Amino acid sequence: GDSVTQMEGPVTLSEEAFLTINCTYTATGYPSLFWYVQYPGEGLQLLLKATKADDKGSNKGFEATYRKETTSFHLEKGSVQVSDSAVYFCALSDWNTGNQFYFGTGTSLTVIP
């Protein structure tokens, strides 16, 4: 079945450090891939997405590239800020399984000044 595996947290970085959060997936079809972010006390917000191989999703300085050959969708940001502290979820939506989403376990990021 479909699944998403993302790196365990928590991750603690200093402000302006480089961020990578790894995400790999397993899918029976040709999925669309997403990163969501959840700030304390809130729901999930769509951060970026990619719908086909080699697509790069980007938003607010975050980027992720859909790599079909390595079944990966790693999240990166060149210079994190304190305001990026949140939990990040990798997810896929596979047309084979209709609208069911598969989420990773989430990676907590704390950025210290």
User: Which residues contact another protein (rule: CB under 8 A)?
Assistant: 29-32, 34, 36, 42-46, 49, 51-53, 89, 93-95, 97-101, 103, 105-106
Task: Considering the complex, state which of residue 46 and residue 82 has its C-beta at the smaller distance from another protein.
Answer: 46
Shortest Å distance, C-beta 50 to another protein? 9
113 cis-preceded (ω within 30 degrees of 0): no
Stated as kind and residue range, the H or E segment containing 61 is none
| Sequence-ordered list of residues with C-beta below 8 angstroms from that of 28, at least 6 positions apart, any chain | 1, 2, 94, 96, 97
- Asked if residues 86 and 39 have their Cβ atoms less than 8 Å apart, the reply is yes
| 35-70-34 Cα angle (round to 5) | 10
Task: Considering the complex, state which of residue 18 and residue 95 has its C-beta at the smaller distance from another protein.
Answer: 95
Task: Considering the complex, state which of residue 17 and residue 24 has its C-beta at the smaller distance from another protein.
Answer: 24
Shortest Å distance, C-beta 39 to another protein? 10
Shortest Å distance, C-beta 88 to another protein? 12
Task: Considering the complex, state which of residue 13 and residue 103 has its C-beta at the smaller distance from another protein.
Answer: 103
